[in-house]
């Protein structure tokens, strides 16, 4: 038994898709969420810079007495996963390996990945896909315009549909049958992805597999929350809360209490 919260973090608001999945699959667990909204987006940053930011976030979450770390950001996993595991003595769950496992299981021909430039350029997905036994062809494309569209609240717009079409159509030329949404922001654009792909591909939202892995890890280590009182969640961001509030309300139809905590100053 371990009643401490789970630390969940992202470069901004995308990690809320993972938080939502944790609420659904593990409704008795508490989370402490950190979104680095002041320095977002991470996807175009150098991997070494992302690692510096990541260490600051993990140190802050450690100070909040979390029992596990969930990296709800593909760019951070790609840049910093090994460094986090080396420096923090608690379970660390990333979003990439569960997605690769699911893709290797479901694909019969080829897998496509839509992700940030940092994630694509790192080659992390290809390495982990091979590690989990994936033998299918693997095709990746950086999608730099999608995170700004989401953080500006333009989901459902013609602009969003056109940008998704541009990226997805390139992957479809490789005859993919499985598509990984390799950024935790991208599930906000799933309707656009489904419109463009016309039901021809199996779409993977890494939040689902990541949460299943988290649940299995907590159970195996006897770290599940056993309190019967309702869980109390905490949300921290490093910058303006306007976009965070908008995205949170899109997911949960409410607005949370949010604390501002600057890092690296």
List the beta bridge partners of residue 182.
115
List the beta bridge partners of residue 95.
none
- Cβ(263)–Cβ(55) below 8 Å: no
Which pLDDT belongs to residue 2? 97
Q: What kind and span of H or E run contains 35?
A: strand 31-35
Per residue in 201-210, pLDDT tens? Answer: 999 999 999 9
Angle at 10 between CA 61 and CA 212, to 5 degrees: 90
- Say how far apart CA 79 and CA 53 lie, in whole Å: 11
Supply the mean pLDDT for the chain: 95
Model pTM score: 0.93
Per residue in 83-135, pLDDT tens? Answer: 999 999 999 999 999 999 999 999 999 999 999 999 999 999 999 999 999 99
pLDDT over 90 (residue 243): no
Residue 265 — pLDDT band, cuts 50, 70, 90?
low
Catalytic residue (choose from 58, 73, 100, 143) = 73
pLDDT over 70 (residue 71): yes
- Say how far apart CA 207 and CA 186 lie, in whole Å: 11
Residue 247 — pLDDT band, cuts 50, 70, 90?
confident
Segment 22-26 shows an average pLDDT of 97
Reply yes or no on whether 58 is catalytic: no
Segment 163-176 shows an average pLDDT of 98
Q: What percent of the chain has pLDDT over 90?
A: 86
Reply yes or no on whether 183 is catalytic: yes
Which pLDDT belongs to residue 173? 97
Write the CA distances from 237 to 19, 38, 134, 173, 234, integer angstroms: 14, 8, 37, 39, 10
Catalytic residue (choose from 58, 100, 143, 183) = 183
């Amino acid at each position: 038994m371990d009643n401490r919260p789970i630390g969940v973090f992202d470069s901004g608001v995308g990690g809320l898709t993972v938080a939502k999945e944790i609420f659904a699959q593990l409704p008795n667990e508490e989370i402490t969420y950190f979104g680095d909204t002041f320095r977002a987006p991470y996807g175009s940053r150098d991997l070494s810079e992302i690692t510096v930011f990541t260490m600051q976030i993990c140190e802050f979450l450690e100070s909040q007495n979390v029992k596990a770390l969930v990296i709800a950001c593909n760019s951070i996993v790609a840049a910093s996963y090994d460094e986090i595991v080396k420096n923090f003595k608690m379970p660390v769950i990333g979003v990439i390996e569960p997605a690769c496992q699911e893709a290797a299981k479901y694909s019969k021909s080829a897998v496509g990945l839509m992700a940030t430039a940092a994630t694509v350029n790192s080659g992390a997905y290809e390495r982990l896909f091979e590690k989990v036994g994936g033998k299918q062809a693997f095709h990746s494309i950086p999608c730099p315009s999608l995170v700004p569209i989401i953080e500006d609240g333009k989901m459902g717009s013609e602009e969003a549909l056109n940008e998704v079409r541009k990226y997805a159509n390139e992957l479809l030329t490789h005859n993919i049958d499985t598509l990984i949404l390799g950024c935790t922001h991208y599930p906000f654009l799933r309707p656009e992805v489904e419109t463009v792909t016309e039901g021809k591909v199996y779409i993977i939202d890494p939040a689902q597999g990541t949460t299943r892995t988290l649940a299995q890890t907590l159970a195996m280590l006897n770290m599940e929350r056993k309190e019967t009182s309702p869980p109390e969640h905490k949300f921290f961001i490093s910058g303006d809360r306007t976009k965070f509030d908008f995205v949170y309300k899109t997911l949960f139809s409410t607005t949370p209490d949010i604390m501002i905590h600057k890092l690296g100053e």
